[in-house]
Structure 1
Amino acid sequence: MTVATTKQQAPCGAWTSPIGAAVVAAGATPLAAIMFDGPDLYWLEGRASEAGRSTLTGPAGELTPAPFNVRSKVHEYGGGAYAVHDGVAWFSHHADTRLYRVEPGQAPVAVTLDNAHRYADFVVDAPRARLVSVREDHSAGGHYPVNTIAAIGFDGSETVLVEGNDFYAAPRISPDGSRLAWLCWDHPRMPWEGTELWLADIGADGTLLNGRMVAGGPQESICQPEWSPNGALHFVSDRSGWWNLYAFEHGVVQALCPREAEFGGPHWNFGGSLYGFAAGGDIVCAYVEGGVSRLARLRDGGLADIATPYEEIRELRVQGATVALLGGAPTVALELARIDLDTGAHAVLARSIGQLPPVDELSVPRSISYPSANGRTAHAFHYPPANARFAPQDGELPPLIVIGHGGPTGMAASTLKLSTQFWTSRGFAVLDVNYGGSTGFGRAYRDLLKGQWGVVDVEDCVAGARHLASQGLVDPERLLVRGSSAGGLTTLCALAFHDLFKAGACYYGVSDLAGLDADSHKFEAHYNEYLVAPKAQAAAVYRERSPIHHTDKLTRPMIFFQGLDDMVVPPQQSQSMVDALRARGVPVAYLSLAGEGHGFRKPESVVATLEAELVFYLRVFGIPVPAGLPALDIGNLPAA
């Protein structure tokens, strides 16, 4: 027998939700960097209760107790922070950037002795008693560090193997130990614009011989070089317009599976992996079509999907007949799963969220495509409000929060995120936009943002909000926009140059493009030449697009959030915007957070920012603020 239940009607935005800010902050355990060592699996877990410390976990449990934080600072975004061989692990410690060695049951021991070097993406070269690593040398004290590929002896000695390029990634040693492959690129390119794949022989003394470029160039992005067990070099290239799989063998490059799908992603972090080699020579891979990931087996050019519950696969590794992956779906938070290719058995080894809210409290998104400016089609995930006990008042349409993701070469995925459900369970609709420039839709879509940052991304966010409003799904008078980092620029430009959104939230967002150039770290020092304009034309275009020069056009209420240790977007950018809006009488709130960088890791920071943003929206729309939420100082807005 089915028992009918009546939901209580209440103003959208003020619904009582089981997904509080503390649940969002404490409920997520970041999972990353899975790696096999023989049959044993290792991965990184974040510790929200320990200021976001990242720890290495393996068959025997935690290998890196506090205060060790397994995290690299190379390129500022890091990744590739550890390697394991025969049960022994080497890792980069975030606090001092030194390399450490740790064996099960023992305390970590420092291998390198100074903190002038940073290391990432290292592989173990056991016969030569060394690691081969991307190294970033800050010892000269210049404006930018020097990047190389170096050999780090188990005794701590260091030898440069490859130098001369601005950037390096993915050193990979062939199975027989005789060859080394790597990626490199130079300013002004970013790695998703153009990279080179190089190959060299390893001499008897461990140095490299006969180095030669085997693929890539200024207009071809290559990622994820890997060796097959039989010694064939594989990689992912977008030479066809899509990141597809290729093999280099006997001097010839061969396409393995031409398809309008993405088998790789942009190199923001080291160590990414979306394919591996199974017993028998098959390739097991993840690919993205239409913003959704699938797992598949590639054999003799034929691609056969492998059923999983996941719609996003962030990384995977293969060992024999076993696949380990990080996957998620609309009702599945990111989890670490092990899949047996022979039997289909599926085991979950770790979950990013231990206890999920009931399914009837979750908003399940639908993937939508809609018309945008200049005949473009944009893509997004639409989350309607969802709550087991509450419904809108008669005739009420929900307010909409439009999210512009960071990157801006990122991709919005549909994996369950409590930070999104925090809003939908309170009566907000959410539109998570894959604007032109996003990954996952081919190079032509990604290149829509070339020279158009602050234009195309903004137009696609505006068009998405209008699309939902025209369908009667959201309240056209209560449209909000929020974003972080690059998405922060999208937010500011949407409010400055379009009269649609009623308020916005900017998390450590870019407001001054010229200032970003002046303060940027090496990895992104020339990124704006791709996103905005070459240096010869930059000054005029920067001024035209930088919100800091158009504060007279910002009339809508805004809230800003900024980590004071941010090395990517300097805190002064947010402070300048806040000061300008306050002086002009625009309602504005500002939360600066000590000890936080580019992205907030501390649980108290997550709680403070989410609750402040909620209170801000409620007060802007005149919705009663529920008891228990903190007071918020909103300059130029009359007290509630």
Structure 2
Amino acid sequence: MSASVADMRGGVEALVIDDGWESALTAVDVARAGVSYDWLTSVDDRLFWVESSPDAGRDAVVTWSAGSVAVLPGDGVGSGLHAYGGMPYAVLPSGEVVRVNGESGQLTGVVTRSATAHAYGDLTWSGVELLGVREYAGGDDLVGVEMSSGRLRVLEATDGFLASPRVSGDRLAWVRWGRVVMPWDSSEVWTASYMLDGQPVDPVRVAGGPDESAFQPQWGVDGWLYFMSDRTGWWNLYRWRDGRTQPVAPVEAECATAPWESGYANYAMLPDGRMVMTVQRGPVHELAVVSSGAVARLPVPYTSIKPFLAVVGDRVAVIGSSPTRMQEIALVSTDGSGGVEVVRPGVDRGFADVSVPQLLQVESGGAQVTAVLYPPSGDAGPAPMIVRPHAGPTYHSDLRLDGEVQFFTSRGFAVTDVDYRGSTGYGRAFRKALDGQWGRVDVADCRAVAEHLIDTGRAIPGAMFISGASAGGYTALRAVSEEGPFAMAVARSAIVDPQRWTTTAPRFQRPHAAILASPDSAVRADQVRRPVLLLHGVRDEIVHIGDTAALADGLRGLGLLVGMLTLENVGHYVSGTGLVAALEAELDAYRSVLKDAGLPVPG
């Protein structure tokens, strides 16, 4: 028997799942399958990554070499740099690992430093010292740390943001952007001389500016500095040397991921001079090899590839997944043979009878909007439909096996993810279309997709729902603040007032809210026209619970609050037992609305 929303304030640990549908994926299965691999890198012929597992209870550094996998001992690893994180560890020549402690944000391992009011991340080994970025309330420092003594020196400081220190010989490169912009809108690659006993001198701006986003610098063995830039409207690969800039692989696609975290690697250099990079068109990721300017697709069984490429010999290591394949780490041959060696498989928690998605194109506001439709398992007919605007909002829908999607499709619901205007994967102009229009064009696009699904017989009128987390939760709330096809909204960890969020969001994201919001962007209870289920973690530091609680009070007074599920000891990202409670509350809410409307209730 499912617990009701009213019963779910705390006490989540005791929740038992049994809804009488034996073939359905349980919420416990979904929560336990939430193993994630990130921050993949290589040193010689060894791979390292960070592994997050609900069963382990902490994020750990894991290593692979010659077919053997080992979890390294030590504190939990994790970076809070710029709120979303940066490379949280570095491997030294000795093989030892320096890491950022996931609780304190301080450096731990073979380096000892007194705790300060900083968050560290974006770590790398320069060849002579540890480099990284540390953040405090007033800005960022690019720092170097001498390993033998722990002595720290500040190489660059700003009241804005810094990222990606990279060294080759006597040259240092890094990324910077101002405190009132976002790095995917405006960021710069810089280089200067690098000396162990002095400050960088003769700094030169390599790329970037007010209307250009440039990042991910890497030094090539050929002496060129490589980086990603969207100067043509697409994030493509370039190289620079002695004031000369050249395109490396022009392609009308996104070859980089929006830099929510510091230290992404969407490309990697092979020993023979070739390069491997990700290529994204909408929600679909591909892997390509670049040789003499030519771009050739590498066959891989993945449609979603994380921005952490690493090289082992003549193969490239990736973190990949697909709609039928859990996230895994694999070594991919670069000779075009399609060879794939899985070195860390995904976690199978009973994902049977998987719903495989279809890609749709829907016209909205003069733009083509992409949607990813997951039909109910084993049923192609009209169904109750859950439309999901993705989080971000400067992000995209992932074309991968998603346990939350399968939880609902295995119970007779259809799910559709929407890449509304403002999403990544479609170029700069599409990405910028949300500026000043948040809560308007994203809502219009979700509504257009929903109406298309009803008109084409894929969804049942009156059984259309909208559900989102964080920025997606905001879109869901705005969607039921006007007339439309949605019978109910579910908002998890939702932003409620973008204008107020410019003062309460983490320092990194305050400009994001200011760029996107319009003067009338707040969600007001008296404008909401459909029932709403709210879910929020008490420990959410990105979107504080106060605005959600106030909205819940207003909706309760109007009779529009389905429930306010307060999740104890849960932050912005809901996982574990909190996710179990959230999924069950959402399912109960959908079934209740369908029952009250006299519509068939799946399952």
Contact 2:411–2:602 (CA under 8 A) maintained in structure 1: no
Structure 2 residue 535 is the aligned partner of structure 1 residue 561? yes
Which residue in 1 is equivalent to 2:9?
none
CA distance in 2, matches of 1:199, 1:532: 34
The one-letter amino acid of 1:386's match is S
The 5 Å alignment of 1:235-634 reads: 235-315=227-307, 316-342=309-335, 344-358=338-352, 361-373=353-365, 375-387=366-378, 397-533=382-518, 541=519, 544-548=520-524, 551-601=525-575, 603-622=576-595
Match of residue 100, structure 1, among 108, 115, 120: 108
Greater shift in the superposed pair: 510-519 or 279-288: 510-519
When the two structures are superposed, what TM-score results if normalisation uses the length of structure 1? 0.87
Contact 2:412–2:602 (CA under 8 A) maintained in structure 1: no
Question: 1:15 Cα shift?
Answer: 5.4
Structure 2 residue 116 is the aligned partner of structure 1 residue 120? no
The one-letter amino acid of 1:319's match is V
Which residue in 1 is equivalent to 2:3?
none
Question: 1:146 Cα shift?
Answer: 2.5
Question: 1:356 Cα shift?
Answer: 5.0
Question: 1:320 Cα shift?
Answer: 3.1
Which residue in 2 is equivalent to 1:131?
130
Give percent identity, aligned residues only.
35
CA distance in 1, matches of 2:541, 2:70: 30
CA distance in 2, matches of 1:186, 1:221: 12
CA distance in 1, matches of 2:457, 2:160: 51
CA distance in 2, matches of 1:239, 1:165: 25
Q: How many residues align?
A: 575
CA distance in 2, matches of 1:525, 1:38: 40
Question: 1:345 Cα shift?
Answer: 2.9
Contact 1:284–1:318 (CA under 8 A) maintained in structure 2: no
Which residue in 2 is equivalent to 1:35?
41
CA distance in 1, matches of 2:277, 2:261: 19
Question: 1:260 Cα shift?
Answer: 0.9
| Change in 2 beyond 3 A, CA 1:440/1:626 | closer
Question: 1:610 Cα shift?
Answer: 0.6
CA distance in 2, matches of 1:341, 1:214: 30
Question: 1:397 Cα shift?
Answer: 2.6
1:351-404 deviation per Cα after TM superposition (whole angstroms, max 9, x unaligned): 34234523xx1111111111112x2211110111114xxx59xxx731100001
Question: 1:115 Cα shift?
Answer: 4.0
CA distance in 1, matches of 2:563, 2:338: 52
Partner of 1:608, secondary structure, is helix
Question: 1:110 Cα shift?
Answer: 5.3
Contact 1:28–1:352 (CA under 8 A) maintained in structure 2: no
Partner of 1:400, secondary structure, is strand
The one-letter amino acid of 2:88's match is A
CA distance in 2, matches of 1:464, 1:204: 57
Match of residue 77, structure 2, among 35, 46, 70: 70
The one-letter amino acid of 2:314's match is A
Match of residue 218, structure 1, among 205, 210, 216: 210
Which residue in 2 is equivalent to 1:81?
88
Question: 1:99 Cα shift?
Answer: 0.8
CA distance in 1, matches of 2:449, 2:602: 30
Contact 1:578–1:588 (CA under 8 A) maintained in structure 2: no
Partner of 2:61, secondary structure, is strand
- Kindly report the root-mean-square deviation, in angstroms, between the aligned alpha carbons of the 2 structures: 1.9
Contact 2:88–2:99 (CA under 8 A) maintained in structure 1: yes
The 5 Å alignment of 1:4-19 reads: 16-19=22-25
CA distance in 1, matches of 2:41, 2:535: 35
The 5 Å alignment of 1:197-208 reads: 197-203=189-195, 205-208=197-200
Contact 1:404–1:491 (CA under 8 A) maintained in structure 2: yes
The one-letter amino acid of 1:553's match is Q
The one-letter amino acid of 1:614's match is L
CA distance in 2, matches of 1:518, 1:323: 42
Partner of 2:501, secondary structure, is helix
| Change in 2 beyond 3 A, CA 1:204/1:363 | closer
Which residue in 2 is equivalent to 1:160?
154
Contact 1:223–1:264 (CA under 8 A) maintained in structure 2: no
Question: 1:88 Cα shift?
Answer: 1.3
| Change in 2 beyond 3 A, CA 1:17/1:503 | farther
| Change in 2 beyond 3 A, CA 1:289/1:499 | closer
Contact 1:618–1:625 (CA under 8 A) maintained in structure 2: yes
